[in-house]
A and B are shown apart, each in its own frame.
Chain A
Amino acid sequence: MNRGYKQMLLQMKKNLLLTILGMAALYAASSCRKYPIDKDGLLITDNTSCYMSSFNLVGSDNQTVLVTTPTFANGLIDTVKCTVTAIAKFGTNISKVKPYCSLGANDMLVEPFMGLWTDFNQPKTYTLVSGNRQIRKLYTITVTVQK
């Protein structure tokens, strides 16, 4: 009787240990990986995507000034040469436009920031940075106005 009771206690201990180990394994497997963050508080991920998928310019009325929106698909963005070619409508005040772009991944960066009044009378360069911060590509954006 006494021996049977001890065996039962031993079995319960084993079960408890297995349960705790199982839960620990599950936690380890399911818990989020802790990515480092950069000086701006943004996650540094494993993503290596680094390209511009579309580009736009808006004028003082917050409307696009471009005849055609350059995209990777229509060839006006060359992701190999890292160039963007755009044509602005007649009458565009190209001295004061705001650039915006879409990127290949959400965790990419653009340096310097877009969305600021910018003079595009001369080609402008922007550096795209991949999510893992290991790849940097210098894009040159050239805009000409219809004349």
Chain B
Amino acid sequence: MKRTAYLIGLLAVSTAIFGCKKNEIEARNKDLTGSFIKRTVAPLIVGEKIDFAYGMGTKSGKLSAVQVTASIAGATGTLWEMVTHRTVNAADVTTLVARNSQTNGNLSTVSIIDTNATTLRYAYITPEAARGQKVSFEFAVTNSAGDRSSVRTPEYQISAMDMKRSIPLVGTAAGARYFSIADMRAYTLAEVEAGNLSAKIDFVYAYAPTITPGTAAYTYGHSLVSPAAAGFLPNGFTIPAAWTRKSTAMEKKIGTWVYDGQLKGDANSNIYIDDIDLQKQNFDGSANYAITLTNDGSVFMKTADGRYTAFVYINSVNNSTSTAVISLKRLQNF
């Protein structure tokens, strides 16, 4: 009796540990199998890639056709790679193993040339239609013996954020230093005046080694200042009197505490600002300026009308040219 109970328990535990989803079992029972990994760990943002690697192998004949069906059709550029990757002496080496890579609507296909085991990469370019939605994929492979194996991914949440990287700011009189979060771009003085865009300007970029508001000089450096923030622009820099002066809430951070691997462009920085960070950021009592910014610094911002919350990252600053390069993620609140 005890032995029976023990065996039943062992069977239950084994099932729990080694049990597979139905489609995986089907694949493994046959001589053909395929499995995927999602290589992208960053937030999934519209316009950005979601990278998968799909490994497959067959004991019957050769691999023939490979396909993936996305629940929401990918944007232009969604495609299977036709090469397989491997690393030799720390260098990425590719070998052509497939042909006829095509994407039509939700379906991306590719044909294997002549092998019975390989791994291909699939890049899904996140389309606008997927913003804030969940997307899933079904990978499938067939072999020359007529077997078919498929596996479905979990659903992945697509971010509602926008992202723009490496925007140059020039802190000179004629430079592009007037920034609109709605447009995610910097304008020059002439452009703002010509287009009557002052109501769109959320902050201005300025650089000066020091600022002298009274008799004493204080460190100023590279700064982002709301047009409404009085007394925080360097001497000689004034906002034209006729302009709309918006007050953008700002919360300054530094790289030691807040990173973003996507904005930094560093594949080894797997720390990211995600939708929830912008949703949860508290701006009660915030300033409307952020001064003395340096490389890797950052500022959470909320536009005066509350429409956008943004994370502005300082990629680099240059004192000698009075310039900075920034990147940002932006969430539209309504």
Give chain A's interface residues, CB within 8 Å of chain B. Answer: 59-63, 89-91, 93, 95-96, 117, 119, 146-147
Contact = CB atoms under 8 A, between A and B. Distances in A.
Interface string B244-262: 0000000111100100000
Contacts of A117: 284-285
Interface of B: 211, 213-214, 216, 218-219, 232, 251-254, 257, 284-287, 289, 291-292, 297
Q: What does DSSP make chain A's interface, helix, strand, loop or mixed?
A: loop
28 contacts: A59-B252, A60-B252, A60-B253, A60-B286, A60-B287, A61-B252, A61-B254, A62-B253, A90-B211, A90-B213, A90-B218, A91-B218, A91-B232, A91-B289, A91-B291, A91-B292, A93-B286, A93-B287, A95-B285, A96-B284, A96-B285, A96-B286, A96-B287, A117-B285, A119-B285, A146-B218, A147-B213, A147-B214
A32 B287 CA distance: 52
Contacts of B218: 89-91, 146
Nearest to A89: B218
B311 to A, nearest CB: 13
Contacts of B219: 89-90
Contacts, number: 42
Contacts of A91: 218, 232, 289, 291-292
A91 B292 CA distance: 9
B305 to A, nearest CB: 21
B232 to A, nearest CB: 7
A11 to B, nearest CB: 58
Contacts of A147: 213-214
B296 to A, nearest CB: 11
A62 B216 CA distance: 26
A63 B254 contact: yes
Contacts of B286: 60, 93, 96
A62 B256 CA distance: 10
A55 to B, nearest CB: 20
Contacts of A89: 218-219
A133 B268 CA distance: 51
Given A90-B218, A91-B291, A146-B216, A61 B285 contact: no
Nearest to A96: B285
A147 B216 CA distance: 8
A100 to B, nearest CB: 16
Given A60-B253, A89-B218, 20 more contacts: A59-B252, A60-B252, A60-B286, A61-B252, A62-B254, A62-B257, A89-B219, A90-B213, A90-B219, A91-B218, A91-B232, A93-B285, A93-B287, A95-B287, A96-B286, A117-B285, A119-B285, A146-B216, A147-B213, A147-B214
Contacts of A59: 252
A117 B285 CA distance: 9
7 A-B pairs with the lowest CB-CB distances in the bound complex, closest first:
A90-B218, A93-B287, A96-B285, A91-B291, A60-B251, A95-B285, A61-B254
